[in-house]
Structure 1
Amino acid sequence: MWVSSLVSILPLVAFAFALPSKDYEHQVKEEVVPPQGWTIFGPAPSDHFINLRIGLPQSNFDLLEQHLYEISDPYHERYGAHLTKEEVEDLVAPHPDSAAAVNEWLSSHGIQEEDINRSPAGDWLTIRLPVWLVEKMLDTKYHIWKHATSGDYIVRTTSYSLPKDILDHVELIQPTTMFGTFKRLKSTIHSISQANSQVQSQNQPPVSDPVTGVTVDASCGSTITITCLQQMYNAVGYTPSADVGNSVGIAGYLGDFANRADLQSFFEDQVPAAAAANATYNFVSVAGKLCFLGFSSWLTLSKAVSTHKIPTTLAWSLTSILNLRSAGSPPFIPDVATPTDTNEPYTDWLDFMLSYPNPPLAISTSYGDDEQTVPESFAKRACAGFAQLGARGVSLMVASGDKGVGDANLNPATQTCFTNDGQNRTQFLPGFPASCPFVTTVGGTVLYPEQAVYFSGGGFSNYFARPSYQDAAVQGYLSQLPNGTYSGLFNPNGRGFPDVAAQSNLFRVFVTEQPFLIGGTSASSPTFTGVVTLLNDARLKKGLPPLGFLNPLIYSTAASGFNDITVGSNYGCGTLGFSATAGWDPVTGFGTPNFAKLVELVT
């Protein structure tokens, strides 16, 4: 491994000495205050390799955004006219002047075309470089940083600069100033416990919701199964097709993935017909690496509503790190056993999905971090990638998070909701990518009749302005808040989330072929994705295009297709948080899906 690193570095060393030095005048591009808990562990080794990602400005993203909103608006004449892969790439391709300027800069540092991996649109450049060369290029100094609580190690800098003549030709460069704790960026699993070998019959009469009139088995109060979800969300008896071009995908990062044996156990337990048919999923490895331990909840929960007939793909970013314990594990450990550093998962995964000729029509992802741990430049660029998927007809669901409005803590004396801008102000902490306006964010409910679960992530973004599609709904919620409620703790002009909700506790899944009960919005997101997959099935049967980006539809003609949740709140930061109310709220959005109503509204 050391020999390999030496071989790869020699050409760069040769170029560095062979080329005449060019005297660049640098200017700071981005700088941050180290977030709470991070301290310098030591200098970064000069021969430590970084997968440097350079984002060039997307020349016509405003036009792509216009297309996205037109084709996602059920009132617009272009509704459903999704763009092709090539059309999207043309819209986000950088201006030729930007590409030329950056190429010249890279060449001056001995970096040749064969050293660069370019995204299909040319808007991202990825180059594997040693720290010493990156420090020279960015006029900065990298350190190993350690997190006091998690024990994570990452290689980062708090500031980097670029030559003035390319400053406007580069939107961002990472990994530089991002301090997100991506080692702990597991799915937002809130709880897990071993379950009984069989679902316990309570010998009690079914439970009815007096508002919707829907009746569910009494056992659904203690264990959520496929049958419970079909009953709760009014999808009993619907049979999807296997041959209409439908598909569903589940994103897994950082060592999390499905297990075929667990899936078979799940099917034997809850869908015998699927077990008999040996139903399974397609595995797609993003970085070409395999893992050997797994967790099947993402796959099985998506199957819970979409059934085993619809093709399912499991695709995840393994971020190309070399770690023998599991691909996609810790970003960096300062020893010779871990010679490469990783970036975060979203851009690697997005690069792959956007290059995929036919991405799944509905995708669930159950990962997130505090918005403030992600530099705003990166958050906006990743969000723009999600918009590209939407423009191509993909519905992307993300979990809202499991920390309520910030830390799921009611005690003001021990709350941990502080800004990381050096001022340490108490503030609600929205999550990312839940705060991105181009995804459908799914909050959590519990029990039946349903109510908001206390840990359901929700609130308002500090990075993204409120999109027009939710103006009326969010303003309606804010108008009924008493004056001064949580003044200064949240941004009332920011993108509100979640958009919808689904059950998030006591899901019966299988781990190492043993039954467990899990809870978290990581269960809610794939559950709602299953409903979207069924809706796509109904549309495709009638020759209609898939739903694509959902939010303009949800906030307009489809709003009546949800079960409004009006009980519960998402506490945190020493407060009771926001309360679920009639209509949209930043706890459960518009509520949980009523499939029978929604299928009429979208077909």
Structure 2
Amino acid sequence: MLDMYRISFWVVLVAAFAITAQASPSFAFDVLKERVVVPQGWVRRSISNESEIIPLRIALKQANPGTIESALNQTSDPDNKNYLKHLSKQDVLQLLKPSTRSAKVVRDWLESHDVHLNERSSAHSFLVEVPVHKARRMLNADFSVFEHRDTSEKVVRTTEYRLPRDVADHVDLIGGTTYFSTLHTMRRPSRIIESDVQMPTTDQHGRISKVKLNQSGAVQNGVPSSCNASKVINKCLRDFYGTSDYKPQAASKTHIGIAGFLNETANYQDLDLFLQNQRPDAHRGHASFDYVTLNGATNNQSLEASTGEAALDVQTVVGFTWPIRTSFYSVGGSPPFKKDEFTPTDTNEPYLQLLEHLIQLEDHKLPDVLSISYGDDEQTVPENYARRVCTLFAALGLRGVTVFDSSGDQGVGGDDKSECVTNDGNDKPTFLASFPSTCPYVTSVGATQDFAPERVTTKKFSGIVSGGGFSRYFNRHSYQDDVVTSYLTDYQGTQYHGLYNPLGRAYPDVAAQGSRFLISVGGKYELISGTSASTPLFASIVSLLNDARIAQNKATLGFINPLLYKRLGGSGAFNDITHGSAEGCGNSKGFKAAQGWDPVTGFGTPKFKSLLNKVIDL
């Protein structure tokens, strides 16, 4: 923790901005708060039902914007005297807090419309549920039903909204209005893998029976004999990255969390079957996970309800980290939600829901690592929304949490060149960055395949291409400057000029195997590839590093990007990936993997023992 002087400094700094004037706002003039262009793929279908209840999350401005980021820059910088002095829940909430005046102005505005706060509101984020006709009056907005052409998802949204002048200055954004989510999992199931891959034995119902897998730890040509690139088991991954002989020493004090969106369901029977065959010692030890439901999510444990993303995440993490505590956070939509002909699918905005929950957890309940295997095209996320979410990721980092996100499965964009255009109405060619990987306060993870050597995943072999690139919303932090500038100078030049922002936050930061993981889904085997596989893998390795530090009464690593770029990158702690590229957007080869850091695999894949030796004494 920061010393008491430091804590007092931040608290006093926030208090200085807490203006307590009691004058009531006039609510007289409208200010355009946000305007967006309907993203590609979404089509307006009809005017929304006036009586439909929609959730609105009103994010209040911090009394002192930037304080969270400023504090995190100290606690995450290995050159700073406050390095790894994480803050408590109360300290961080105080930094997030709006001014007293902001809270009063927004409350008065809501009361003037006879709108009351939901019990899940916090001091810095108000949640309300209102019928569409009332939202129209409050926000001077036209709400309609929009449908996505590919997924048939329907949501109630508006393309712009306004606020009274006296209210606008106190609000960062209103969620549930302009965010047309393209949220998707970063994985591909077995149906895209060639049919000649021999799968393990199943019974007459397709359920897993006794499996014979090579559990040998012998190494040949630098590759463990347990490894087969066409069918990758957990034992292979632990052998290859050097964690097989590490035994967690502080499992009861170490905690890793997994985000679950889009109705993904983690199944206990699937985990049991996976462990029985791939981690028998954990199976004998009754390894499990905590299933946490948020905002109307359900926990359906029938095998028919089991889904691939959740299975991949949970099985990878538990297979690596047992007996460390694992929590799966299943995030549903904001209630109330009733399916009808107007809105048959949930209007879910998952990031804020999950982050608001985690920020409110007591210190001993908060995971020290969080793995997220989902992403949006950055340009489809309203910038104000993305910045608010990113600030909350920074707040988690300030509490000592390392947040990982998958870099994407489509290289620099989609398969079709026509998908790679701006959504500002001009349809200019562009590479598509992935959020939240573009947030500077998460650690982005790319994916590799093969073992001798590892290379960037390819569409032909893995079904996915590891994503990477540069943000158009967030600037690059100074600790990235040297390696990113070197890459752009040595390998990129003027190629793809205008298709990306060379000054933006560059990602991914690291990489790991993400091809053909053998996973149990619904009692059957699937081979799954994606940065959804590499992300929980890398998150698990950092969880083991935290375990070793906690066993010595040391702080968790928290936000690790400054450490990566200042100390660990180029230190021999990673396998440098130099083969492959982030192809996409039609026939573009995209960014190339290269010596040192690159925007496809970051610094490369982890060498656990080397990392452990380097971080244990920090």
Q: TM-score, normalised by structure 1?
A: 0.89
1:379 is paired with a residue of what secondary structure?
Answer: helix
The match for 1:153 is 154
How far 1:201 moved relative to its partner? 5.9
2:258 is paired with a residue of what secondary structure?
Answer: strand
The match for 2:59 is 55
The match for 1:498 is 508
CA contact (8 A) 1:436 1:495 kept: yes
1: distance between equivalents of 2:43 and 2:87?
Answer: 46
CA contact (8 A) 1:503 1:524 kept: yes
The match for 1:407 is 414
The match for 2:323 is 309
Match of 1:538 among 530, 548, 554: 548
Match of 1:360 among 367, 375, 395: 367
Is residue 2:128 matched to residue 1:127?
yes
The match for 1:512 is 522
1: distance between equivalents of 2:180 and 2:410?
Answer: 19
How far 1:116 moved relative to its partner? 3.6
Worse overlay, 54-63 or 493-502: 54-63
CA contact (8 A) 1:199 1:223 kept: no
Closer, same or farther: CA 337–481 of 1 in aligned 2, 3 Å = closer
**Match of 1:65, as an amino acid?**
E
**Match of 2:486, as an amino acid?**
G
1:526 is paired with a residue of what secondary structure?
Answer: helix
How far 1:25 moved relative to its partner? 1.9
Identity %: 40
2: distance between equivalents of 1:565 and 1:207?
Answer: 20
1: distance between equivalents of 2:246 and 2:27?
Answer: 68
CA contact (8 A) 1:155 1:341 kept: no
Closer, same or farther: CA 261–154 of 1 in aligned 2, 3 Å = same
Closer, same or farther: CA 589–360 of 1 in aligned 2, 3 Å = same
How far 1:181 moved relative to its partner? 3.0
2: distance between equivalents of 1:49 and 1:175?
Answer: 11
**Match of 1:376, as an amino acid?**
E
2: distance between equivalents of 1:204 and 1:97?
Answer: 63
The match for 1:300 is 315
**Match of 2:260, as an amino acid?**
G
1: distance between equivalents of 2:323 and 2:260?
Answer: 21
2:583 is paired with a residue of what secondary structure?
Answer: strand
Pairwise mapping of residues 402-551 of structure 1 onto structure 2 (< 5 A)?
A: 402-408=409-415, 414-448=417-451, 449-454=453-458, 455-551=465-561
1:55-114, CA deviations, whole angstroms, 9 ceiling, x for partnerless residues?
A: 1111234222121121111222111110000000111101112111111111111124xx
Closer, same or farther: CA 109–580 of 1 in aligned 2, 3 Å = same
**Match of 2:358, as an amino acid?**
M
The match for 1:261 is 269
How far 1:343 moved relative to its partner? 3.5
Match of 1:335 among 331, 341, 356: 341
How far 1:406 moved relative to its partner? 0.8
CA contact (8 A) 1:68 1:390 kept: yes
The match for 2:237 is 229
The match for 2:20 is none
Closer, same or farther: CA 174–202 of 1 in aligned 2, 3 Å = closer
For this pair of structures, how many residues does the alignment match? 558
CA contact (8 A) 1:415 1:572 kept: no
How far 1:142 moved relative to its partner? 0.4
Match of 1:349 among 346, 354, 370: 354
1:251 is paired with a residue of what secondary structure?
Answer: strand
Worse overlay, 524-533 or 554-563: 554-563
Closer, same or farther: CA 84–369 of 1 in aligned 2, 3 Å = same
CA contact (8 A) 2:226 2:236 kept: no
1: distance between equivalents of 2:494 and 2:171?
Answer: 41
Closer, same or farther: CA 577–336 of 1 in aligned 2, 3 Å = closer
CA contact (8 A) 2:409 2:467 kept: yes
The match for 1:144 is 145
1:16-68, CA deviations, whole angstroms, 9 ceiling, x for partnerless residues?
A: xxxxxx87321211111212232221100100011111111112342221211
Worse overlay, 585-594 or 566-575: 566-575
The match for 2:246 is 238
Match of 2:99 among 87, 95, 98: 95
CA contact (8 A) 2:293 2:299 kept: no
CA contact (8 A) 2:456 2:600 kept: yes
Worse overlay, 70-79 or 192-201: 192-201
Is residue 2:384 matched to residue 1:382?
no
The match for 2:207 is none
The match for 1:19 is none
2:613 is paired with a residue of what secondary structure?
Answer: helix
2: distance between equivalents of 1:23 and 1:594?
Answer: 58
Closer, same or farther: CA 23–171 of 1 in aligned 2, 3 Å = closer
1: distance between equivalents of 2:239 and 2:107?
Answer: 57
How far 1:305 moved relative to its partner? 2.2
2: distance between equivalents of 1:150 and 1:286?
Answer: 24
2: distance between equivalents of 1:334 and 1:86?
Answer: 41
2: distance between equivalents of 1:359 and 1:342?
Answer: 27
How far 1:144 moved relative to its partner? 0.6
**Match of 1:544, as an amino acid?**
K
1: distance between equivalents of 2:32 and 2:64?
Answer: 26
CA contact (8 A) 2:297 2:330 kept: no
Is residue 2:186 matched to residue 1:188?
yes
The match for 1:595 is 608
CA contact (8 A) 1:246 1:536 kept: yes
How far 1:156 moved relative to its partner? 0.6
Is residue 2:175 matched to residue 1:174?
yes
The match for 1:80 is 84
CA RMSD of aligned residues (A): 2.2
1: distance between equivalents of 2:215 and 2:83?
Answer: 47
CA contact (8 A) 1:117 1:127 kept: no
Worse overlay, 388-397 or 23-32: 23-32
CA contact (8 A) 1:260 1:280 kept: yes
5+ residue gaps in structure 1?
Answer: 1-21, 209-213, 324-331
1:392-426, CA deviations, whole angstroms, 9 ceiling, x for partnerless residues?
A: 001111111101001145xxxx5420111000111
Closer, same or farther: CA 489–537 of 1 in aligned 2, 3 Å = same
2: distance between equivalents of 1:525 and 1:472?
Answer: 25
How far 1:304 moved relative to its partner? 2.9
5+ residue gaps in structure 2?
Answer: 1-25, 192-197, 202-210, 459-464
The match for 1:585 is 598
2:161 is paired with a residue of what secondary structure?
Answer: strand
How far 1:202 moved relative to its partner? 12
1: distance between equivalents of 2:289 and 2:216?
Answer: 36
Closer, same or farther: CA 70–522 of 1 in aligned 2, 3 Å = same
**Match of 1:535, as an amino acid?**
L
CA contact (8 A) 1:400 1:457 kept: yes
1:483-525, CA deviations, whole angstroms, 9 ceiling, x for partnerless residues?
A: 3110000000000000000111110110122222110110010
1: distance between equivalents of 2:297 and 2:42?
Answer: 30
**Match of 2:111, as an amino acid?**
S
CA contact (8 A) 1:450 1:565 kept: yes
Q: TM-score, normalised by structure 2?
A: 0.86
2: distance between equivalents of 1:253 and 1:467?
Answer: 29
**Match of 1:335, as an amino acid?**
E
1: distance between equivalents of 2:509 and 2:540?
Answer: 16
**Match of 2:69, as an amino acid?**
E
Match of 1:24 among 16, 23, 28: 28
Closer, same or farther: CA 250–204 of 1 in aligned 2, 3 Å = closer
2: distance between equivalents of 1:244 and 1:280?
Answer: 13
2:253 is paired with a residue of what secondary structure?
Answer: coil
